[in-house]
Amino acid sequence: MWIPGASLLTKFLLPSPLLVMANPFTEYYIVETQPGSNSLLIRVVGDGGSISKGKICSLKARAVLIDMEEGVVNEILQGPLRDVFDSKQLITDISGSGNNWAVGHKVFGSRYQEEILEKLRKSAEHCDCLQCFFVIHSMGGGTGSGLGTYLLKVLEDEFPEVYRFVTSVYPSGEDDVITSPYNSILAMKELNEHADCVLPIDNQSLFDIISKIDLVVNSGKLGTTIKPKSLVTSSAGTFKKWQEKPFDAMNNIVANLLLSLTSSARFEGSLNMDLNEISMNLVPFPQLHYLVSSLTPLYTLADVNVPPRRLDQMFSDAFSKDHQLIRADPKHSLYLACALMVRGNVQISDLRRNIERLKPSLRFVSWNQEGWKTSLCSVPPVGHSHSLLALANNTCVKPTFVELRERFLRLYKKKAHLHHYLQIEGMEESCFTEAESSLSALIREYNQLDATKSRPVEDLPRLSVAV
C-alpha cells in the first residue's frame, strides 16, 4: 500500500519502487531496472503475467495508491509504470489535507474508510497466503501522517492476524511544512499503538547519501562512472547540480530497501527469512518496534557505477553511520537485536565469520548477546554480485525522536497554528498532550536501555551435555 502525503518524496518513476508493494501479498515475481538502460528485466518464478515485446501486459501490482491530491497519482498513470497498476485500485481526492493531520485522520479517514477497505479486500482475496501489509507514508504532511496512520487501525481491525510493516519518511529540520512537528508527533502515537514494525527513514539522510555521489564523481576516482540517462545526470549527460532534493534518486534507495526486505519471499536461498520472522526476532517489546535500516552498496542504487566492495567491507559498511537511512550511529549505541539479509553468492560460513569479526565492536543488551537473525538469498540485485540489508533494533533511533519532540514543543508552547487543528470536528487539545506523552514514554524506554550500556556483560555458564 502506498500512502503519499504532501511532504512525501514526490515522484515514483522507476520500475522498482511501487511494484514491490505486490510482494507482501506473496506473488512470486519482481521487476527491476536493467543496468545501463531504461528497459525492464522481468524475472518470473511460477505463473506470472504475460509479457509482450518487453512490456508488461497483465502483470498488476497488488497495491492500493492513495492520495488526497491527484497530482502524484496522475504522474504515475502517465509514466512508465502506468501498465503495472490497476486503475481501479487508486483513490484520490481534489482538495488535499492542507498539511493538517486532523484533516487526513478525522475527515478523510472516515470518508474513505469503506472504499479503501473494499479495495484492500479485493487485493487480499487474490492472495494464496497473505503475509503482511506494507504501508509507505510520510510523517510531515497531512495525508501521509493522518490518513496513513488511520489506515493502520483499519488494517488492525480488519486483518488482526496480518503483520503491518510501515516505512515512515520523517521530515528534516529544514522541511518546508511548518506544521510537520505537529503532524509527526500525532502520527507517532498511532505508530506506537498500531504498527508491528516501523522502518524510519530520514529525508535528510537520503539527501546526504545522494550528495555524496557528487563528491565521488567529481573526485575522479578510478572506476567511478555514471550510467547514461541516469537519475543523477542531466539530459546533457553531466552530473546534476541539485537545486532541490533529487526525489527520484532518493526514492530509488527506499525502493531497493523494500526489494531487499522481500527478496526471501521472491527468490530461493539457502537460508530464507519469512517476513513475519523479522517482527518475531527483532521486536522484544511491543513499543520498541522501530528498526534502523542500512544498505550496501549504496551508490549503485542512485545509478552510479562504482567498483564492487569486498564482501568483508560490505559487512563493515552496513554498520557505519554513512550507510544508515536515518541519521544515527548504531556502533555507539545499544543493540537489542540485528538482522542481516544478504543477496548473492555468499556462503553461510562467510556470514558467520563476519558476525564473529564484528561482534566485539557492537554492544548488545546483556540478555540477548546472540541476538542475530540472518538470511541468504541466492539471487543478487540486477547488475551486482551481492548486497546486504541490515535491520537493527538499536537505541540510536532515540535522537530522532528527541529532536522531533523538541521541534513540537517549540510550536506547542506558543500554541502556534493550533487553531487549524482544533477547528476539525473530533479534534481536541488533549490529542496533542496525549501524543507528546506517548513519545516521551517511548524515549524513556530507550533511556532505560541506554543506562545499561556501562554494565559489564556477565558470561553466563552454558549447559553441559552429559555423554
Tens of pLDDT, residue by residue over 299-309, are 544 454 555 66
Q: Give the pLDDT mean for 279-290.
A: 95
Lowest-confidence region among 7-21, 104-118, 307-321: 7-21
Cα separation, 16 vs 63, in Å, equals 13
* pLDDT at position 46 over 50: no
Q: Of 65, 68, 77, which is closest to residue 5 (Cα–Cα)?
A: 68
Lowest-confidence region among 40-44, 118-122, 314-318, 432-436: 40-44
Dig out the grid coordinates for 400 from the structure.
Answer: 530522532
Can you list the pairs that 362-365 forms with residues at least 24 positions away whose Cβ atoms lie under 8 Å? 362/319, 362/330, 362/331, 362/335, 362/338, 363/333, 363/334, 363/335, 363/453, 364/334, 364/335, 364/336, 364/337, 365/334, 365/335, 365/336, 365/449, 365/452
pTM: 0.83
Is 300 or 197 the better-scoring residue by pLDDT?
197
pLDDT confidence bin for 57, thresholds 50/70/90: low
What's the pLDDT score for residue 458? 59
Dig out the grid coordinates for 234 from the structure.
Answer: 542531466
Q: Count the residues in the chain.
A: 467
Is 408 or 211 the better-scoring residue by pLDDT?
408
Cβ 130 vs Cβ 26: under 8 Å = yes
* pLDDT at position 139 over 70: yes
Dig out the grid coordinates for 447 from the structure.
Answer: 533511556
The residues, ordered by sequence, that sit 6+ positions from 142 with a Cβ below 8 Å of its Cβ are 5, 6, 68, 96, 97, 98, 99, 100, 101, 103, 104, 183
pLDDT confidence bin for 436, thresholds 50/70/90: very high
Half-sphere exposure of 337 (CA within 13 A, CB side): 19
Cα separation, 344 vs 381, in Å, equals 8
> Torsion angle of alpha carbons 221, 223, 228, 234, nearest 10°?
0
| DSSP-assigned beta bridge partners for residue 374 | 340
Cα separation, 448 vs 443, in Å, equals 9
| DSSP-assigned beta bridge partners for residue 233 | 239
For residue 234, count CB atoms less than 10 angstroms from its CB and return exposed for 0-12, middle for 13-18, buried for 19 or more: exposed
Q: Of 385, 394, 303, 288, which is closest to residue 346 (Cα–Cα)?
A: 385
Is 224 or 447 the better-scoring residue by pLDDT?
447
What's the pLDDT score for residue 406? 96
Q: Give the pLDDT mean for 173-200.
A: 94
Is 31 or 258 the better-scoring residue by pLDDT?
258
Q: Give the distance, in angstroms, between the CA of residue 19 and the centroid of all CA atoms in the same chain.
A: 14
| DSSP-assigned beta bridge partners for residue 137 | 3, 168
pLDDT per residue as tens digits for the range 327-355: 998 988 999 999 999 999 899 999 999 99
pLDDT per residue as tens digits for the range 389-405: 999 999 999 999 999 99
pLDDT confidence bin for 283, thresholds 50/70/90: very high
Dig out the grid coordinates for 416 from the structure.
Answer: 502556534
Lowest-confidence region among 83-97, 103-117, 145-159: 83-97
Cα separation, 376 vs 347, in Å, equals 8
**Average pLDDT of the chain?**
80
Cβ 301 vs Cβ 295: under 8 Å = yes
Quote the percentage of the chain above a pLDDT of 90: 49
Q: Give the pLDDT mean for 245-259.
A: 82
Is 245 or 427 the better-scoring residue by pLDDT?
427
DSSP-derived 3-state class of residue 136: strand
Q: Give the pLDDT mean for 16-21.
A: 28
| DSSP-assigned beta bridge partners for residue 138 | 169
Lowest-confidence region among 25-39, 54-68, 253-267: 25-39
Dig out the grid coordinates for 446 from the structure.
Answer: 530507550
Q: Give the pLDDT mean for 285-293.
A: 95
Q: Of 10, 354, 336, 6, which is closest to residue 148 (Cα–Cα)?
A: 6
Phi, psi at residue 20, to the nearest 5°? Answer: -65, -20
Cα separation, 236 vs 58, in Å, equals 35
What's the pLDDT score for residue 58? 67
Is 187 or 225 the better-scoring residue by pLDDT?
187
